[in-house]
Chains A and B, each alone.
Chain A
Amino acid sequence: MTILKNDMRYIRNSDDIVLIRQVVREWALMIQFSLVDQTKIVTASSELARNAVEYGGGGVLYLQIVSDGIRKGLKLIFEDKGPGIADIGLALKDGYTTGEGMGLGLGGARRLVNEFNIESSVGQGTKITIIRWK
C-alpha cells in the first residue's frame, strides 16, 4: 500500500470533533467519494473522535490517502494514550457502554468502513485504523 498524501490533526475536545468531521469530509472529496461514502466515513470519524475525547483523554488523527495499485482509499488512524480497552470484543458489541452513550460508536464505525482494526492495551492507549476504499 502506498501513501499518496498524509497529515495529522489533534482531537482534544468537542470542538475538535467538529473540525475532524470537516477535515475528513475534505479528504473524502479529494478522492471523489460519493455523497453516501463521504457521509459514512465522516460519521465513523465522528464516533471515533468522540471516543478519543471521552475515553482516551484526547488523541490524534492521522489522515492518509492510500493506493493499493488498483484503487485509492482514505485511511484514518485514531490514536490516544488513554486507559486502553481491556476487552475489545465486548467494546465492539452494540449496546455495550461504560459511559452514558448507546454503545453504538465502535460497532457502528466498523460497519461504515471497509477495513477496521483496533490495537489497544490497558494503560497504554488505543489505536484504531479504518479504511474506506473508493
Chain B
Amino acid sequence: MEKIPILKMGKYLLVTIQVDMHDRLAMSLQDDLTEKIVLYNARGVLIDISSLEIVDSFIGRMLSNIASMSRILDAETVVVGMRPAVAITMVELGLDMKGVKTALNVDMGMKMLDIFTGKNDEQEKLNDHSEE
C-alpha cells in the first residue's frame, strides 16, 4: 500500500502531503505518525499541506486527531502551507480544527516549533552542563 513519507529533521518530523489523499491513506498516516513520534522521541510535527487542493471534514478531523494525539506524546503539531482558497472554504464549511496550530510555510512552522519546545531545550542544555 502507498504511504505518505515521514521525514526526520532533528527533533522534528516533517510530513509532506503530496497526493490527493483518500480516506485510508489519511487513517494510516495517523498510525504511522504515532509510531514515529515514539520511535524518534520527536518533539514536534510539521505537516505541509501546500499541495492539498481541499480540506474537507474528514481531512480536517484527521489533522485535529494528529494534533491531539501528538500532544499526548509531548510533541507539538504545526500545519503549514494551507492555500488561501482552502482556508476560505474551510471557514464556510464550518471546520475550525480546534487545537491545530498553523503557519505560512515550513520555515515559519519550524520557528514556531522552536519556540514551543524552546523551554525544554534550555532545560536540556542546563542538564548537559551539569553533567560536564
Interface residue ranges, A against B (CB under 8 Å): 14-15, 17-18, 21-22, 25, 35-36, 38-40, 42-43, 46-47, 50, 94, 101-102, 104-105, 107-109, 111-112
By Cβ-Cβ distance, the 4 closest A-B pairs, closest first, are: A108-B93, A14-B23, A39-B85, A46-B56
Partner of B92, one of A18, A50, A112: A112
B20's partner among A18, A102, A104 (CB-CB below 8 A) is: A18
Residues of A contacting B: mostly:
helix
Is B110 an interface position by the 8 A CB rule? no
Beyond A35-B85, A42-B53, is A108–B92 a contact (Cβ under 8 Å)? yes
B94 at interface (Cβ–Cβ under 8 A)? Answer: yes
Q: Are B88 and A39 in contact (CB-based, < 8 A)?
A: yes
Q: State whether B89 touches A104 (Cβ < 8 A).
A: no
Are A47 and B57 neighbours in the complex by a CB distance under 8 Å?
yes
A111–B93 Cα gap in the complex (Å)? 7
Q: Do the beta carbons of B86 and A50 come within 8 Å of each other?
A: no
Contact indicator A108/B57 (Cβ below 8 Å): yes
Report the minimum CB–CB distance from A28 to chain B (whole Å): 11
Query: Given A14-B24, A17-B23, are A40 and B57 also a contact pair (CB < 8 Å)?
Result: no
CB-nearest residue of chain B to A103? B57
Shortest C-beta distance, B23 to chain A (Å), equals 4
Contact indicator per residue, chain B 68-93, by CB within 8 Å of chain A (1) or not (0): 00000000000000010110110011
Contact assessment for B85 and A104 in the assembled complex, using a CB-CB cutoff below 8 Å = no
A17 to B22, CA, bound (A): 7
A46 to B86, CA, bound (A): 13
A residues in contact with B92, CB < 8 Å = 40, 108, 111-112
